[in-house]
Amino acid sequence: MTVSAEQRFSHRIALELAAKRHLCAGIDPSAAVLTDWGLPDSAASAERLGREVVAASAGVAACVKPQVAFFERFGAAGFTALERVLSDAREAGVLVIADAKRGDIGTSLSGYADAWLTPGSPLEADAMTVVAYQGFGSLTGALDHVRDHGKGLFVLAATSNPEARAVQTARREDGRTVTQAMVEDALAYGHPDDHYVNSVGVVLGATLTLSDFGIDTASAPAKPALPVLAPGFGAQGARIEDAKSIFGGLAWAMLANESRGILAGGEQGLADRIRTRAEAIAAAV
Amino acid sequence: MTVSAEQRFSHRIALELAAKRHLCAGIDPSAAVLTDWGLPDSAASAERLGREVVAASAGVAACVKPQVAFFERFGAAGFTALERVLSDAREAGVLVIADAKRGDIGTSLSGYADAWLTPGSPLEADAMTVVAYQGFGSLTGALDHVRDHGKGLFVLAATSNPEARAVQTARREDGRTVTQAMVEDALAYGHPDDHYVNSVGVVLGATLTLSDFGIDTASAPAKPALPVLAPGFGAQGARIEDAKSIFGGLAWAMLANESRGILAGGEQGLADRIRTRAEAIAAAV
């Protein structure tokens, strides 16, 4: 199957960004969130929350991001719930970044890519998060799906949790930090149809001073821009008003992930909270 | 629920090692392997292969290791298949290391640990593989399950794929390589009931020169020993006869993972191949 330039994740997310939609709405049905929603801690509840977030995000948020762990904890029943959420998103035309943080090598990594990035798979998403502790080159099996099916990847680069810093600032033999190499390797991936935004992006925590990780936000290419999935705004402490100073040249293709802020309070008012946050982010970027 | 010392993974795997059982039989239902088995590429076939490996491993191999990616590629149906394989293993008393390579932080990592390491979960295994790109401290949500439920963890340290080396030999600000810190942090985890083998082990590729990664196998503590899950023997090139020279002081608690060699050829002869490899490994270690 050939994917046209217009069908690629990179193009579709570029249209969202051009429309000033930068919110990536989190679908995080943790036990605590489900309790806050007045729901039992079950796969059915996770499905209900996910479908509500999808419905409220259509045309308002740039994308949604289900945290796979909160579905996986229910085993196959949780995956069935997630499949229904993903099906809703496809029908509504809402872009999905599956926050799976999968990482492996060879045919194993291909297995994960088959699950999340293959057209027709029950778990099909538009993009997924991946971890490259085994090296950027270990992602080949997913990069194939980026090329062939027009999917997107977000490679973990620098994350906000304090214990990550020692690993992510470690210096490789070539002099680059681990984070810096992840960002440069993501940038180096090029698909000829990626006109505005790269198909391969990175995860960078908004609470960090990125220069500490060897990232020079001033030197980021304008086109195709590197998409940045940015957790850390809201409950975790970063202010969306600071997005431009935090991400510099990376701010244009920044997707601000918010979960706790929009989910807190339950179904009542969910659509309003998502709209309010989407507008605040649009105003700031 | 209180777990007795005898119920802990660390104790049960120590009994296997004391009986000279070091084979960790891979359950790798990739498309290529299922074709070799004369089976369609489906969740039902993955289940059949998994249950056959479990049955043939009881009392012969130290443990089995399902590669989760090869089940996940079928979505919820694949997880249902894996749940049945895991249920068989529990009934047969065969220890299971779920090769999930999960990694995340906070409640997300807890979600993964809830899935794989909680008694009564449909995906319950005895141990799982994890990735700590976000730092060893990001594993807290799984270490809780090690403590409370007697489960085991294998943290990715040094892996055999060539593209991994640049990340894993990167040097942290404290002077240690990324791999070295993973090994030392795993060793530093101590549960008072871990008398012979540590509950937290590492993954080290058998094809590597471990000193290149900053690992001094001579200084490994004898008790509790650090369990090492070692892919790389057989098809990938390392010779089991060299296990002692490769792993030195880490060889006693080494689990040699073999998949391709035992799976090639289909159901016919599977039990014989597993027994033959188990004996060859016992003779070498």
Asked if residue A32 has pLDDT above 70, the reply is: yes
Could you tell me which residue, A218 or B115, shows the higher pLDDT?
Answer: B115
Chain B residues with beta carbon closer than 8 angstroms to that of A98: none
User: Are A105 and B159 a contacting pair at CB < 8 A?
Assistant: yes
State how far the Cα of A234 lies from the Cα of A10, in Å rounded to an integer.
26
Other beta carbons within 10 Å of A184: 16
State how far the Cα of B188 lies from the Cα of B186, in Å rounded to an integer.
5
Evaluate the omega torsion of the peptide bond into residue A66 and state whether it is cis, within 30 degrees of 0: no
User: Are B101 and A104 a contacting pair at CB < 8 A?
Assistant: yes
- Average pLDDT for A173-178: 97
Nearest by CB to B115, which of A75, A164, A169?
Answer: A75
Closest-CA distance of chain B to residue A138, Å = 7
B90 touches chain A (CB under 8 A): no
Task: Give A63-77 pLDDT, tens digit per residue.
Answer: 999 999 999 999 999
- Average pLDDT for B203-221: 93
Average of per-residue pLDDT values in chain B:
96
Distance in Å from the first CA to the final CA of chain B: 36
Chain B residues with beta carbon closer than 8 angstroms to that of A166: 135, 172-174, 181
Query: CA–CA distance from A159 to each of A70, B1, B133, B246 (Å)?
Result: 19, 34, 9, 34
Contact status, residue B248 vs residue B218, Cβ threshold 8 Å:
yes
Contact status, residue A252 vs residue A225, Cβ threshold 8 Å:
yes
Could you tell me which residue, B61 or B234, shows the higher pLDDT?
Answer: B61
Nearest to A101 by CA among B152, B138, B169: B138
B94 HSE (CA, 13 A, CB side): 30
Minimum mean pLDDT among A14-23, A149-158, B188-197: which range?
B188-197
Helix (H, G, I), strand (E, B) or coil at A255: strand
Helix/strand/coil (H/E/C) assignment for every residue in B207-223: CCCHHHHCCCHHHCCCC
Helix (H, G, I), strand (E, B) or coil at B171: strand
Asked if residue A270 has pLDDT above 90, the reply is: yes
Nearest by CB to B111, which of A30, A80, A107?
Answer: A30
Q: Please indicate, yes or no, whether the overall pTM of this predicted structure exceeds 0.90.
A: yes
Provide the sign of the torsion angle of the four alpha carbons A148, A111, A24, A255, taken in this order: negative
Phi, psi of B284 (to 5 degrees): -85, -25
Nearest by CB to A164, which of B135, B156, B159?
Answer: B135
- DSSP structural state of residue B162: G
**Which structure tokens are listed for B104?**
């995340």
Task: Give B87-138 pLDDT, tens digit per residue.
Answer: 999 999 999 999 999 999 999 999 999 999 999 999 999 999 999 999 999 9
Evaluate the omega torsion of the peptide bond into residue B29 and state whether it is cis, within 30 degrees of 0: no
Catalytic residue among B20, B65, B101, B244: B101
Minimum mean pLDDT among A208-222, A244-258, B48-62: which range?
A208-222
Closest-CA distance of chain B to residue A2, Å = 22
Helix (H, G, I), strand (E, B) or coil at B209: coil
A70 touches chain B (CB under 8 A): yes
State how far the Cα of A120 lies from the Cα of A105, in Å rounded to an integer.
23
Interface probe, candidates A72, A105, A160, A169, chain B, greatest B C-beta count within 10 A: A72
Task: Give A108-159 pLDDT, tens digit per residue.
Answer: 999 999 999 999 999 999 999 999 999 999 999 999 999 999 999 999 999 9
ipTM of the complex as predicted: 0.97
State how far the Cα of B89 lies from the Cα of B83, in Å rounded to an integer.
10
* CATH number assigned to the domain covering B5-280: 3.20.20.70
User: Are A166 and B174 a contacting pair at CB < 8 A?
Assistant: yes
User: Are A108 and B76 a contacting pair at CB < 8 A?
Assistant: no
User: Could you identify the residue written with the tokens 């590669």?
Assistant: B67
Residue contacts between A and B (CB atoms, under 8 Å): 194
Nearest by CB to A159, which of B70, B83, B134?
Answer: B134
Nearest to B257 by CA among B30, B31, B67, B93: B67
Average of per-residue pLDDT values in chain A:
96
User: Are B137 and A161 a contacting pair at CB < 8 A?
Assistant: yes
Nearest by CB to B111, which of A72, A82, A83?
Answer: A72
Interface probe, candidates A131, A145, A208, A236, chain B, greatest B C-beta count within 10 A: A131
Chain B residues with beta carbon closer than 8 angstroms to that of A69: 102, 104, 108-112, 115
Query: CA–CA distance from A84 to each of A48, A49, B76, B112 (Å)?
Result: 10, 11, 11, 20
- Average pLDDT for A215-241: 91
Interface probe, candidates B42, B49, B108, B208, chain A, greatest A C-beta count within 10 A: B108
Q: What is the biggest distance separating any 2 CA atoms in chain B, rounded to whole angstroms?
A: 53
For chain B, which residues make up each domain, given as ranges?
5-280
Phi, psi of A103 (to 5 degrees): -160, 135
- Residue B1: pLDDT band (50, 70, 90) is low
Contact status, residue A226 vs residue A203, Cβ threshold 8 Å:
no
CATH H-level, domain A5-284: superfamily: Aldolase class I (3.20.20.70)
Give the ranges where A19-59 is alpha helix by DSSP (H): 31-36, 43-57
- Residue B221: pLDDT band (50, 70, 90) is confident
Q: What is the pLDDT of residue A251?
A: 93
A223 touches chain B (CB under 8 A): no
Q: What is the pLDDT of residue A1?
A: 62
**B101 labelled catalytic:** yes
How many residues are present in chain B? 285
Contact status, residue B225 vs residue B195, Cβ threshold 8 Å:
no
Asked if residue B226 has pLDDT above 80, the reply is: yes
